[in-house]
Amino acid sequence: MITAKVTSKSQTTIPKKIREKLDIHSNDTIVFEIEDDHAIIRKVNVVDTGYLKALESTLEEWNSEEDSVYDDL
């Protein structure tokens, strides 16, 4: 088991072994998923449907009846 501490600003460093295993580098995007009482961390791939699904909920303002006129664009 690998551990890391959380700072007073709720930040942590991803341990080197995990960064290497997931091939995480500076400016990469990662996803945190919560399942029951634990979290899963994974690197976002070029086309990551899990990430896109999470992003989808932030785009609700573009999902209105008025916007349907742009569906065929």
pLDDT on residue 64:
74
43 lies in a domain?
A: yes
In a domain, 1, yes or no: no
Question: Within a domain: residue 56?
Answer: yes
Using 50, 70 and 90 to split pLDDT, how confident is the model at 26? Answer: very high
Q: Residue 3: phi, psi to the nearest 5?
A: -120, 160
Is 23 within the bounds of a domain? yes
What is the tens place of the pLDDT at every residue in 5-20? 999 999 999 999 999 9
Residue 2 belongs to some domain of the structure: no
* Tally: H helices and E strands in the chain: 2, 2
Contact 25, 43 (CB under 8 A): no
Q: What is the mean pLDDT of the chain?
A: 87
Domains identified in the chain, total number? 1
The SS3 call for residue 60 is helix
Tokens of 57: 């909920």
Query: Does residue 20 lie in a domain region?
Result: yes
pLDDT tens sequence across 48-66: 777 778 887 777 777 677 7
Whether 27 maps to a domain, the answer reads yes
Please report, rounded to a whole number, the percentage of residues in the chain having pLDDT higher than 90. 56
Domain that holds residue 45: 16-62
Q: What is the pLDDT of residue 36?
A: 95
In a domain, 69, yes or no: no
